[in-house]
Amino acid sequence: MISPKELYFRNKLVIADKKGKGIGGFITRKLSPHMVSIFTSIIKDEQPSDLHKMSPDEIVYYNAYLRKALLHKKFPTHDNQIPELKRRMTVLEGQITAGNDNKKVRDELCQIATYLQAYNAISKADLNEYIRDLKAS
């Protein structure tokens, strides 16, 4: 569920389940004006037209959101994101191995793992185990 009020007036994408609880890995995020336009089109059940204006980060977020919401068959996606996500994950894991224990690095790793689970590249059990191990280290 997307909060249309937050999207339209504050350019923020707030994603929650039917009970209003946030969905793990999908943080509240400030969007660019064309991303607001894209998600507004999705809410209106219209095909978005500004997909070519998205940055690589926005493409990953858009694709993961559509997969999590099971809308990837209804709206256009860029499905070649899994290798890029895995590459980024390897780079971030290398940073942690090298001693960088920055919270933002760990948060991004959790977010990427959640995206990979949305793509069905990893199972929910593997996701939970990965996040648990990441927090323990």
Tokens of 116: 């990979």
Nearest to 130 by CA among 111, 119, 15, 120: 111
Tell me, yes or no, if the pTM score tops 0.75: no
The number of residues in the chain equals: 137
Nearest to 67 by CA among 115, 114, 13, 118: 118
pLDDT in tens, 58-116: 888 888 888 877 887 788 877 677 888 899 999 999 999 999 989 999 998 998 998 88
Q: Are 40 and 7 in contact (CB under 8 A)?
A: yes
